[in-house]
Amino acid sequence: MPFRNRRLRLTLLALAVAAIGLTTAGPALAATPPAATPQTREAAIPTDFVDLTPRPLQAEGSRDFTVTYRNDGPTPVTVAPQLLVLSPDTGPYLTPSDVTVERRTGHGCWQPVAVGSQTGTLYTELTGARRTLSAGETLTERYRVTDVQPEVQGTVLPRVALYG
């Protein structure tokens, strides 16, 4: 009989642990985003870019950039402002530690912006910068790029990503 009691206790313990696990996992599973459909994946990829006027990095200083885009169409459009910092054609390639990028908030403060890097081009992320503009609405974002290393050279290309 002791063996049956032990087996029963282990079975009840296993059921209790499973029940607690399901109860705990419930909110986590509910918070998991649904799998991406082809439609949502397409919406996450820009379909075009509008390049604005490029300017050289300011040697040993800061330079402000304004990214402006107006939705002249009759329907809402999703856009994202972006800065590219291009390395010179002959090198050396830029690294994220060579510059700082900041965005001016609605309250007039400068907020740091993370910079990624790929094959010598630095860039600001598009994901968090996406906005939907109504017909006739204008997007205006102000950025400040500071050259941290005095010998760094490059070109800043502001642009706007357009989504489907």
Ordered DSSP codes for 86-136: EPPTTSPPP-GGGEEEEEE-TTS-EEEE-EEEETTEEEE-SGGG-EEEPTT
Residue found under tokens 């010598």: 120
Residue 14 lies in a domain: no
Q: Is residue 77 part of a domain?
A: yes
Host domain of residue 114 = 47-163
For residue 9, name the pLDDT band (cuts at 50, 70, 90). low
**Looking at the domain assignment, is residue 35 inside a domain?**
no
Q: How many domains does the chain have?
A: 1
> Residue 30 domain-assigned?
no
Q: What is the mean pLDDT of residues 133-140?
A: 97
What's the start-to-end Cα distance of the chain, in Å? 70
Mean predicted confidence (pLDDT) in 132-151 = 92
| 82: enclosing H helix or E strand | strand 77-86
The pTM is what? 0.71
Chain segment 78-109, per-residue pLDDT in tens: 999 999 999 988 888 899 999 999 999 999 99
pLDDT digits (tens, 9 = 90+) for 46-85: 999 999 999 998 777 889 999 999 999 999 999 999 999 9
CATH number for position 61 = 2.60.120
